[in-house]
Each structure stands twice: as structure tokens, then as C-alpha cells.
Amino acid sequence: MIRFQTFVRASIIAILLASSPVFAKNTPTEAEPTPIFDPLEGINRIFFGLNEVVDILIVTPTVTVWNTIIPSPVRDGVSNVFNNLDDVYAGLNHALQGNGTQAAVDFQRVAVNTTIGLGGIFDVGTKMGLQKVYGDFGQTLGVWGASPGPYLVVPLLGPSNLRETVGRGIRIVSDPRTYADPGLSNGLMALELVDNRASTAANEQLISSSSFDKYAFTRSLYMQRRAALVEAGGSHH
């Protein structure tokens, strides 16, 4: 009953956010250089700082242990399993974006990697020429014309904006792991977080060493990447 109530609350919040005026159609394309809308910068910087503390005290040491103790083939297998699940959502989103060709490739990857690749442990699809292409609900909303809205820093999750936060919410409420046993669900999400951070450790070091204002630098990189993803998704219309 509690999980159902959580699902209903999350769904209502997502619908309310999606109907917000900031989701109005954009007149210019998102690729045009525009100032980043960050009206909550003061609060965002506080959350950014808190995330940095959590990262230093918990996430980075955990990632270091993960990379040191766990053999590379095992780490690759874990990454592949999570990527296989992501391909399901990528295929759905590419279909919603009107890119049926890429959606077909995504679902072929899922079929091949789930069967021949033993549940996604091995990325057979890539070796067969079925290349992975990223896609998510936030990107789809952008392709449909939704504005990014204000830039946000989400506690523990990091950089986002209103549109991408709604996209994340849709992903969460549609993910079967959300409704699994809490111990299993939280364990899988924690493992995915560690896996993601392990794969981006080099980028984190680059950001830390290349910027006097890490907050502004991270914000700029994030918004540029999201704009590029939306433009790539919209190029198939």
C-alpha cells in the first residue's frame, strides 16, 4: 500500500511539473547559445557543496575500493547489465522521438544481449555492429519542444534542470526496480551509482583540475550536453 501511494504521489508530481509554464514550446532551437537560467543558484550551490562532501567522504572511497578490488571483467559485466536495461528505455524514447530506425537497433541490442549475452553480462550487440545510442525521457521531452526550465542541483544526484528532473521521475516510476524489495532496490541503485561514477572518474578529475569555479563549469558542461542530446534526437524529425 505504501509503495502504491508513493507511486501515485510521484506520478502526480511529474504530471504537475510537466504541465508547468516552463514546459512551453521553445521558439529558438536549443542549440543556440543562451544564458543558463539559474534563478536558484544560491540554493543550488549549497546542494552542490553537500554533494561534494558526500562524494569525498563516501562515493569516491567506495569507487576506489570497487576499482581496486573488483576484477575488470566483473566490473564490465555489471556495467553491461545496467546498459542492457538502459537500452530498453533508449529504444522506447527513440520511438517516441520518431526515430524508428534507432529504436529497432536498441531493441535488437536488448534481444541479443539478453539471450546470447547471458542477461546482458556480455555486450554481444556492439560486436555485431549494433551500436549503443543514448536516449532518455528528458531528451524526449526536449525533442517534443519542452523548455529546460531552471537549472537544478538535486541532492545526491547532481546537476539537472526541471525538464530532466521530470524525465528522471518518469524513469523512476516506470522502473521495475522501484517496486522490488527495498533492500534489493536500494542495493541495485547504489551499485549502479558506483558503476556510473567509476566509469566517469577520469572526467571528474578533469573538471576538478580545470576549473576555478567547479559549480559553474559543471553547470555549463551539463547544459551543453543536454542541449546536444536534444538536438541529436530532434534531427530525425
Question: Contact 118/84 with Cβ under 8 angstroms?
Answer: no
Could you read off the pLDDT of 209-235 as tens digits, one per residue?
A: 766 899 999 999 999 999 999 999 988
- Please give the grid coordinates belonging to residue 78: 555489471
Residue with cell 539559474: 38
In this predicted structure, the answer to whether residue 13 has a pLDDT above a threshold of 50 is: no
Instruction: Find cell 536516449 and name the residue.
Output: 135
Q: pLDDT per residue over 97-124, tens digit each?
A: 999 999 999 999 999 999 999 999 999 9
| CA dihedral for 19, 22, 27, 32, sign (positive or negative) | negative
Residue 217 in 3-state DSSP? helix
Q: Do the beta carbons of residue 145 and residue 231 sit within 8 Å?
A: no
C-alpha cell at 232: 541529436
Q: pLDDT-derived band of residue 179, with 50, 70 and 90 as boundaries?
A: very high
Dist. CA 52–CA 99, nearest whole Å: 37
What are the tens digits of pLDDT across the range 161-175?
999 999 999 999 999
* Amino acid present at 213: D
pTM: 0.81
**Residue 41: which H helix or E strand, with range?**
helix 41-54
Cβ atoms 125, 113 nearer than 8 A: yes
Identify the top-confidence range among 19-23, 40-44, 194-198.
40-44
- The pLDDT value given to residue 3: 45
Query: Cβ neighbours of residue 151 under 8 Å, at least 6 residues apart?
Result: 36, 37, 38, 40, 41, 44, 159, 160, 161, 219, 222, 223
Helix (H, G, I), strand (E, B) or coil at 25: strand
